[in-house]
Structure 1
């Protein structure tokens, strides 16, 4: 049986909503929010063909603009992470950044994607590490946008 084409299509993205109410929502993990062309399953079950001009990092709270009108809100989905705490969080953050690891920085903790090598390194420098499942919205690149990357590229 042939697969039916998505009824919704988006070819533009904005970092923030323009409409008070989105037409729909799509929940994606960090890796899933980096795309150019892909069929996505919206939270309400509809299919959406995303066809952007360039590979784009979609931010939590950004919107995909539907052809024909409307916006699909992008939501950061919970995913497996490591919560990192410690007495010298600045030093710990430096070591994480030195390995080009995406990192969500909060007042008393850091969140990173699960990685056994980084986890082992963090234990050796005195960090406390705990597994959690939460939405992941790491800091952008050095100029306030874009993505950092691990060395697994």
Structure 2
């Protein structure tokens, strides 16, 4: 089966729309959310190909296939992350500057800055006294590196 478009997202559906459909899941890493072309396997061992026509990222809960009885959805695996919780603009500026110098991609959810776990960043946060939590969390979208050329001098 080749999937060329996203049908919808299960998180935007109510219980009556889902109905009695059997739900099969494709478990992928958050880094794979940005891949338009990939081979995947469902939790029922069904091989599938994804070749999206539109340049869009996958998201947790995206529906790859749906008929009256079945649904195949994306289920993103959790990531080992640091959820940084700066208390003020100064702490935010300090950690944003440090992470930017390391070219670390970050995401923002609520009042938290999320980065992939790195022991050096964990040590830096401890040294600077900036509050954080290390946890496994399902991300809504993939970390993305900034593209484009730049220099440090």
Fold agreement, TM-score > 0.5: yes
In structure 2, the residue corresponding to 1:73 is in which secondary structure?
strand
Corresponding residue for 1:4?
A: none
Aligned partners of 2:50, 2:44: CA distance in 1, in Å? 16
Given candidates 90, 102, 106, the residue that maps to 1:102 is 106
From the two aligned structures, give the one with the greater helix fraction: 2
Quickly say closer, same or farther: Cα 1:117–1:15, change in 2 above 3 A: farther
Indicate the residue corresponding to 1:9 in structure 2: 2
2:48 counterpart residue number: 48
For residues 149 and 82 of structure 1, do their structure 2 counterparts lie closer, same or farther at Cα, with a shift above 3 Å needed? same
Partner SS state of residue 111, structure 1: strand
Q: Retained in 2: the 8 A contact 1:37–1:49?
A: yes
Give me the TM-score of the superposition, normalised by structure 2: 0.63
Return closer, same or farther for 1:34/1:82 CA change in 2, 3 Å cut-off: same
Cα separation, 1, equivalents of 2:94 and 2:53: 34
User: Which runs of 5 or more residues in structure 1 are unaligned?
Assistant: 1-7, 141-146
Please state whether the residue corresponding to 1:12 is helix, strand or coil. coil
* Deviant stretches of 4+, over 6 Å: none
Hey, which of these two has a bigger chunk of strand by percent?
1
RMSD: 3.7
Return the alpha-carbon distance in structure 2 between the equivalents of residues 30 and 90 of structure 1. 30
Count of aligned positions: 136
| Conserved 8 A contact 2:65-2:73 | no
What is the TM-score of this pair, normalised by structure 1? 0.63
